[in-house]
């Protein structure tokens, strides 16, 4: 099983959105049972909460399903995940600081780094929490633009494991 965890601040907006989009694309690619996905936050403010209603609304409107309870990323989770995908550069820095060795730090990637149209200064998905619905729609568009590139990398890794 190849495991991917998406990480944002409170695990109620961006990371559950990325999780839902990625899970749907994994299913469409026929990789169910080979790829497992989840999400977590770097902060504990929303532990146990469902996704922000605006996240749920934008996902539902786009045809994605999500059942979610906010969790906190713990350093020992690096042992259980092949890839830890941060939604912004601050999350990536926090995750790399949590890493216990260089291999764990190398498992941290920025989601938008998989979007071929993102420039080097555009790798963060902005936090929509303090804005309105348009920010959530913009966030979803960024996630949807990056997930195909991520899925391509994950599918190649899964294929290599299956062949090896």
pLDDT tens by residue, the chain, 164 residues: 999 999 999 999 999 999 999 999 999 999 999 999 999 999 999 999 999 999 999 999 999 999 999 999 999 999 999 999 999 999 999 999 999 999 999 999 999 999 999 988 899 999 999 988 899 999 999 999 999 999 999 999 999 988 87
8 part of the active site: yes
pLDDT at 82: 98
pLDDT at 161: 87
pLDDT at 132: 84
Any idea which fold 2-163 has? Rossmann fold (3.40.50)
79 part of the active site: no
CA neighbor of 81 nearest in space, from 66, 65, 95, 67: 95
Of the residues 82, 96, 127, 138, which is catalytic?
127
pLDDT at 79: 96
pLDDT at 104: 97
5 part of the active site: no
- pTM of the complete model: 0.96
Contacts of 164 (CB under 8 A, 6+ apart): none
Question: What are 42-73's pLDDT values in tens digits?
Answer: 999 999 999 999 999 999 999 999 999 999 99
Can you state the percent helix, strand and coil of the chain, rounding each to 5? 50, 15, 35
CB 100, CB 26: distance < 8 Å: no
Give the end-to-end CA distance of the chain in Å, rounded to a whole number: 14
CA neighbor of 147 nearest in space, from 13, 9, 28: 28
d(Cα 44, Cα 160) in Å, to the nearest integer? 36
Of the residues 8, 13, 112, 115, which is catalytic?
8
Of the residues 13, 14, 54, 112, which is catalytic?
14
Structural tokens at position 119: 């420039």
**Structural domain boundaries of the chain?**
2-163
């Amino acid at each position: 099983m190849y495991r991917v965890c998406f990480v944002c601040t409170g695990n109620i907006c961006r990371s559950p959105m990325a999780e839902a989009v990625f899970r749907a694309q994994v299913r469409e690619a026929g990789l169910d049972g080979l790829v497992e996905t989840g999400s977590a936050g770097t902060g504990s403010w929303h532990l146990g909460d469902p996704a922000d209603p605006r996240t749920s609304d934008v996902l539902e409107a786009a045809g994605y399903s999500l059942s979610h309870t906010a969790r906190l990323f713990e350093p020992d989770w690096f042992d259980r995940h092949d890839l830890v995908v941060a939604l912004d550069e601050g999350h990536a820095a926090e995750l790399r600081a949590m890493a216990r060795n260089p291999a764990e730090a190398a498992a941290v990637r920025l989601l938008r780094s998989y979007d071929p149209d993102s420039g080097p200064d555009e790798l963060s998905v902005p936090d929509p929490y303090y804005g309105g619905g348009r920010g959530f729609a913009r966030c979803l568009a960024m996630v949807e633009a990056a997930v195909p590139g991520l899925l391509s990398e994950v599918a190649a890794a899964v294929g290599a494991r299956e062949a090896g």
